[in-house]
Amino acid sequence: MTTGHDAVIVGAGHNSLACAVHLAACGWNVGIYEQAQQAGGAVRSGAYTLPGFRHDWAAMNLSLFAGSPFFKAHGAALGAQGLEFVPVDRPFASAFPDGRWLGVSTDASATAARIAAFSEADARTWSTLAAGFPAEAEAIFDLLGSSMRNQALAGLGFRLWRRRRVGGALDLARFLVQSPRGWLTETFESPHLQATLAAWGMHLDFAPDIAGGALFPYLEAMAGQAFGMVIGRGGADTIIRAMVAEVAARGGQVECGARVTRILHVDGRATGIELADGRRIAARRAVIANAAPRALVALTGGTGDAGFDRRMQVFEHAPGTMMIHLALDALPDWAAGEELKRFAYVHLAPSLDQMARTHAQAKAGLLPDEPVIVAGQPTAFDPTRAPEGKHVLWLQVRMVPGTIRGDAAGEIDATDWAAAGEPMAARAIDILERYAPGTRARILGRRIVTPAQLEAENPNLVGGDQLCGSHHLAQHFLFRPARGHADGSTPLANLHLTGAAVWPGAGTGAGPGFLLARKLAGK
């Protein structure tokens, strides 16, 4: 076995890199081993269609990263390594089949005016929510930044009681278990506004009727108006390149093309890893696995705790996502209005009922007849991603099944993604074409990435699940990935789990990696 490192990390996703940056800053020698040919996991960028067009493979929105405690601690160092953000003042909008649209921007009066065109009452409610957001955000972000350990939760509960007393604390608890539909329909009267906000729940496997999903439409709505959005200059991989460089600058190592086949352990203690080429790398203080829970069991051959291993093996993944990358000679001509070209995201998710149907179909293994489409327009804010006058379009098709059992529309016979990818992409582009006629004729290059291809590129994306696990209440907060292990601990001493499967979960906020690093380093 080689001399090794203080910490050996399996996988070079952004949580792994955040963990490594903090540990290295605390004096640890860190080695990261990644099976893919480049670091980043789901956060990477490249010329996936034509030369000169840079697309984000999966993640595009870096707002959580820019606002994270990790970035607050290490942002200056990462900036010195070349990290650059592009601010977005018009983060999201929705287009509707009736030819109308609704968008949220950092111009509060413009947002309120757009909402008032649908409902004066909703505009007043929106303004009240926006005014109260700073106070609400304090409690919510306190919760989302907590380590989910008993002592931390006790302190959080005391602070919440002191600020809100019993009634306010219970109101927050009720909100945290509400479904998107429950909160949206009791708060707003316009179906258009309800659908505009509910689309954010679909980003995190929260269809309108899933308990616990109200938080995400609320946060994205209020944060979008208060802060806008952040994307990476030249691509989301700006954060990856900067973190890799920072790890190297502090004496660490990031090795790609190095597949880990085993996590080594003796007498209940993790000691290192074995690579596919036969090398063994020792870990003096910690082995950290950025892996899907069931993969952790496979890598260890079992942790010695049958209950824990069983929980990892039944960890539930969300439905899959299909990505469609388009190189265009111009942005789509949105039928609802030219102004939609100026928004980072345009959601094509016309109603709560349609979103609920899409989720149910995908969960049942059916290709949805009308999936939710998220159209990302990063070149509206960052023209460096395409040749002059050209654009990239980032399409997420949410949601689709990882394993196909049929087609809800009765049109696609294939039950494997190799054959179903093209016709399903055509269905998605047909939907886009309805909202933005002529877009298909503007396509210069195209790359379809099916759920099967997402998983092949990154085994953590089981069935194309970009979240590495559903965030439903039974698998969130204290239970992510399992009760007693929300801090990334495992039954094997010195072995820790990180990544989106661990609290606080998916997104680009680097919370799982940073919380673990702080626990290990003691600061």
Q: What residues does each domain of the chain span?
A: 2-43+237-315+468-521, 45-65+84-105+318-466, 125-227
Q: What percent of the chain has pLDDT over 70?
A: 95
- Strand, helix or coil for residue 418: helix
Cβ atoms of 437 and 335 closer than 8 Å: yes
In this predicted model, what pLDDT tens digit does every residue of 289-337 receive, in sequence order?
999 999 999 999 999 999 999 999 999 999 999 999 999 999 999 999 9
Domains 2-43+237-315+468-521 and 45-65+84-105+318-466 share a fold: no
- Cα(177)–Cα(210) distance, rounded to whole angstroms? 9
Q: What pTM did the predictor assign?
A: 0.95
Omega before 481 cis (within 30°)? yes
Q: What's the fold here for domain 45-65+84-105+318-466?
A: Guanine Nucleotide Dissociation Inhibitor; domain 2 (3.30.519)
Question: How big is the CA angle at 300 (ends 299 and 304), to the nearest 5 degrees?
Answer: 150
pLDDT band at 418 (very low <50, low <70, confident <90, very high): very high
Domain covering 2-43+237-315+468-521 assigned CATH 3.40.50.2300 in the classification: no
- Cα(66)–Cα(272) distance, rounded to whole angstroms? 33
Question: How big is the CA angle at 56 (ends 51 and 61), to the nearest 5 degrees?
Answer: 145
pLDDT at 157 over 90: no
The pLDDT score that the predictor gives to residue 136 is 81
Determine the residue type at 402.
Answer: G
pLDDT at 160 over 60: no
- Strand, helix or coil for residue 280: strand
Calculate mean pLDDT across residues 466-474: 95
pLDDT band at 137 (very low <50, low <70, confident <90, very high): confident
